[in-house]
Amino acid sequence: MRAISMLLALSAATLIAGTMLPAPSHAQQRDWALAIHGGAGVAAEGSLSTESRGEIEAVLHRSLAAGEAVLRGGGDSVAAVDAAVRVMEDSPLFNAGRGGAMDETGTVRHDAAIMRGRDHAAGGVAGSTRIRNPIGAARLLMEEGGPVLLAGDGADRYAADRGIDLADALYFQTEARRRALIEQRKRDSRGTDEAHRGDDGEWFGTVGAVAIDREGNLAAATSTGGRTNKVYGRVGDTPLIGAGTYASNQSCAVSATGHGEYFIRWTIARDICARVEHRGETIDAAARSVIDALGRAGGDGAAIAIDTRGDIAFAMNGRGMYRGSVTARQPARVAVYRDEAMK
């Protein structure tokens, strides 16, 4: 009886002590992680000057720092991808926001989307011409829970009605994009597609981010100006959920970049996550398999992805992708060409 009494007393003490344990610290919570891209339109090796590469990498690092500040401070993955993408939208070096590609009318028209993995909430804008940061309008659309996608004047009006920062159409244009439009018109008149591969070093492509926060929630965001000299009214894969942007806490988050028509027809972003969710593939194997198959079908492009464990994948079927990552355990690193190590 004495032994039983001692055992009961010990159990009670243990239970009481357990109820007095402090709440889990951040160190005990799930690690966060963030990956970004600045497009798959990478200039040929040797044609990108050290100065130009340095400028691009500096923006990638600022983008990572913006997202990292959110995640390290306990913020959620949606806020992190939003912050990271905004930095690249504000830079004229990338094909999003200021410095976006010009369509056949000489106008910069933006597509953007964001998706929240825990409940599959999503928002997107297509063909906007006045929204300074299209990803911000996409996020508000997602959070309000109404339409998932607004296009053209409807997207611009939505932003204006809600006090989202707007800009004159000329704000988005740069001299480099004007030159690119002239050159692309010449190529299109000859029936070629060279400019969209970034050979002139001026077409840097879509931007995007994927993240997982301390609560284990995934998010993805993508923003673009589309293709140079694109047909008036053309919408690419970026704002289409499942094509260029996708996030689900059951599998992964993806942001894609490349020849949008192929990404739409093959629902690339969703396909990567479906392989993880239903076939049990690793995020790296799923992303590489899908992007490789896309290349065999004739589609140039790349994708970044992150799974529920915080593992990151960079998959590309061209010569490279402007990209970077930062995690709770690893400092920010960036890379450009396909086979080079992140540093």
Q: What is the pLDDT of residue 192?
A: 54
Q: Is the dihedral of CA 18, 22, 25, 27 positive or negative?
A: negative
Give the Cα separation of 88 and 86 in Å (integer): 5
Pairing of strands 245-247, 149-151: unpaired
Residue 223 CB contacts under 8 Å (≥ 6 apart), including other chains: 85, 88, 89, 96, 97, 110, 111, 112, 134, 135, 138, 206, 207, 208, 238
Token code pair at residue 307: 């799974």
Ordered by where they begin, the domains of the chain are 36-337 (3.60.20.30)
Give the Cα separation of 256 and 247 in Å (integer): 12
**pTM score above 0.75:** yes
> How far apart, in Å, do the first and last CA atoms of the chain sit?
66
Pairing of strands 33-37, 320-327: antiparallel
DSSP string, 143-174: HHTS-SEEETHHHHHHHHHTT--B--GGGG--
* pLDDT tens track for 223-266: 999 999 999 999 999 999 999 999 999 999 999 999 999 999 99
Q: What is the pLDDT of residue 201?
A: 40
Return the active site residues. 206
Residues of the chain whose pLDDT is less than 70? Answer: 1-29, 191-204
Which among 205, 167, 175 has a CA at the least distance from the CA of 88?
205
C-alpha to C-alpha distances, 172 to 38, 135, 177, 327, nearest whole angstrom: 17, 15, 10, 32
Q: What is the pLDDT of residue 43?
A: 83
Q: What is the pLDDT of residue 47?
A: 84
